[in-house]
Structures are given as structure tokens and as C-alpha cells.
Amino acid sequence: MARPRLLFVATEDWFFASHFLPMARAARELDFDVAVIARERQHRRAIEATGARLIALEAERRSLDPRALLRQVTSLKRLIEAERPDILHCIALKPIALAGLAGRLAGVERRVYALTGLGFLGARQGLVAATARLAATAWLRGAIDGPQVRFLFENPDDPVTLGLDPQDAAKIAIVGGAGVDPLILMPEPMPPTPPFKVALVARLLWSKGVDLAVEAVRLARAQGARVELTIHGAPDPSNPKAIPEDMLKQWASRPGVVWAGPTRDIEGVWRQHHLCILPSRGGEGLPRTILEAAACGRPILTTDVPGCRSFVRDGQDGRVVPVDDAAALAQALIALARAPSLAERMGASARARLLDGYTERDVMNAVKTLYRSMLSAPTTDIVA
């Protein structure tokens, strides 16, 4: 009997390597033949170490030129037809929109649409954002939907935004983000205080609220709190929503703020810091950075947006404050800086929270259940 074939489609090899290797390993545990279509940079080895194959496909991330999009759909359709997957697993909005159509045209009925966050659709308000949400919903639920399509979300709010019922187990699966390995990321004792050391580890986009964290630290220090902020991350010139390097350097010139660049030593970051801060403006799925901090026994200070609020229980695993409110962030920083024992208790609670459904193994088991259910269902789509 032939092995079932699973084909992932993602934007970048680094994105797949940083968030989705557990899903590839889960498929390999089911003895799937696994391949990944993505733009190749420097992460082929990490992907292929799972037993998956990387199929490189160059595509301009920022272009919305209809001719360029049509070329991408045509290229994806050709690759999908060559792979003949039993399941096509598309990750993030743009790959879902394009590869979902390509997969449907190629006759692949079993398709997974993994929405890792709604980005602009979730973070912005107003007429333009509302119109974009309506268009995205029409495309997802109309043009590229089907009886064998399943939607994979990382929080219970995002399906509602797209007009889906999060309780519809036949159509929707919700997983604990990318999951982390709690045997690799382990808690260590808090460093001494003062100062009270806060870290922000994220892609350096305006939506992550890095500017809010900088301002909150300024306000807290102005009120006498000995608080210090370290920003970890790299600028992304190819992303129009990235924070310019000059702005990061300007922030880092302020008292109590350090921009330390990107890091692979997550354990080292949390060994040296007391608190994870992520003042997100929205559009998140379930940020990996807060899962990593929780695994290391650190509390989280975040905002009342989907994904963040579904994991962090206010007053228990950290603090959840209103969006775009630097003053509220500052008051939370002051309170925690004055009560390091409270921060320590919250960190222990965050670790327990992570162990209850948000580990790599939890995510792998959920994905394996999804794949098994899809393979057991008959296919009925007819491609025009």
C-alpha cells in the first residue's frame, strides 16, 4: 500500500523551520511522505532533518500585482500536480489564498488551511480592514472552500472573525500554537532584583507594539521603578510593516533600553530576565514567544488581543492590559517590579498553563488526529 503524501505550502523556509517542524514530525510518525514548498534561504537542513523534502519556490512576498499572483498560482499548481498529495496543508493567509486555489484546480480535495494569525485583518480597524475581512472571508469560504477542507486556528477568536463556528469540530481544529518542548525550555531561578529586567523577543514589526514597550519603560522609570528592557529581534527590510533599523537604534540610546539583535538562545534570554512583554496590537495566532517564556517559568505582560488573551490569564500567568495603552503597561511594570515574588508565582503558573495543552507533543497529537480524520473521510469534490 502506498504511503499517504502530505504537502505543506509556506512562505519562507525559516518560518516553517521556526514554527512547523512538529507538524512535519507528526506526519512522519504517521509514515507520511512529507514535502514542503517554500522560498529557500538557509533552513533546508532543519526541514530535511525531520524526514521531509524541501521544494524551493521563489516568490515575491510583497507583490500584489495580479499578474505575479497568477504566475504564483500557476507555479504552485504545477508543483502540486507533480507531488499528487493526499493532503495539502497551506500555512498563513497568502499561501492559503494562492495554494488553496492551485490545490483545488489540481484536484486535491483534502486541504488544510492553517491560519497562524489574521495579520492586517485582525490588527486593524476601520472601513479598509472591514472590507478586507469581508473579501478574505468570501474567498476562504467560497472560492477555495470544499467538503474536505479543514481550518486550523491557534486561538478561538479568529474563526469567529471569519464567520466560522469554533465549536464545529467537523470543520475547525484549534491547536496550542506551534507548541514548545518543555523538556528543552526549562525554568530557572529568577535573577536578583533590582533592576527588574524585561525582554521582548519578536519579529520587529509595528504590530508587536515594540514602541509601546519602550514608552512603558520610560514611564515606569520616570516614576522611580528600576526597570530595564531588552529587545531581541532583527529588522526585516522586505516587510513594509517592519520597524526601521534607525528607529531601533534611537530607542536603544535611551536609558534602560537595549536592542540586542536576534537570538537563538531563548533559555539564556529568560535566565537573565524576569518578565516577557508583548504589547501586541493584534493579528496574532498564538505568539511563540509567550509560549517559550512560559516554558521557562516567566510571566507575560501582554494585551487584550486574540491569541495573547487566550493563553495569558490576567493576574494568574501575568497581566493583560488594554491595547495601545503604554500607561497601563507602565503601571503593570511598576507593580511587578515592586513585587518580584508575585512575578515568580505568575511564572510558575504560566509554566503549568503551557503544560496543559500547549506543548509540541500536544500540537503533534492534535495534528495527527486531524490528518487521520481527513484520510478516513471519502473525497467527493469534482473539479471543474
pLDDT at residue number 382: 38
Q: What DSSP character marks residue 364?
A: H
Residue 129's pLDDT band, with cuts at 50, 70 and 90, is: low
Mean per-residue pLDDT over the chain, rounded: 92
How far apart are alpha carbons 59 and 119 in whole angstroms?
A: 19
pLDDT tens column, 313-349? 999 999 999 999 999 999 999 999 999 999 999 999 9
- For the residues 81-110, what does the mean pLDDT come to? 95
Q: Do 5-179+359-376 and 196-355 show the same overall fold?
A: yes
Q: Say whether pLDDT at 163 is over 60.
A: yes
The CATH code of domain 196-355 reads: 3.40.50.2000
Q: Say whether pLDDT at 128 is over 80.
A: no
Cis before 194 (ω within 30): yes
Residue 383's pLDDT band, with cuts at 50, 70 and 90, is: very low
List the beta bridge partners of residue 321: 303
Q: In this predicted structure, which of 3-12, 133-142, 215-224 has the lowest mean pLDDT? A: 133-142
Cis before 195 (ω within 30): yes
pLDDT at residue number 311: 97
- For the residues 223-232, what does the mean pLDDT come to? 98
Architecture of domain 5-179+359-376: 3-Layer(aba) Sandwich (3.40)
How many CB atoms neighbour CB 216 within 10 A? 28
pLDDT at residue number 76: 96
Rounded to whole angstroms, the maximal C-alpha distance in the chain is 69
- pTM of the complete model: 0.90
What percent of the chain is predicted at pLDDT more than 70?
Answer: 93
Q: Where are the domains of the chain?
A: 5-179+359-376, 196-355
Q: Say whether pLDDT at 5 is over 60.
A: yes
How far is Cα of residue 134 from the mean position of the Cα atoms in its chain?
22
Distance (Å) of CA 168 to CA 163, 308, 310: 12, 22, 18
Q: Which residues in 130-195 belong to E strands, given as ranges?
A: 149-153, 172-174
Question: Could you tell me if 259 and 248 are in contact, meaning their C-beta atoms sit under 8 angstroms apart?
Answer: yes
How far apart are alpha carbons 274 and 241 in whole angstroms?
A: 29
Nearest to 7 by CA among 51, 43, 52: 52
**Residue 4 one-letter amino acid:** P
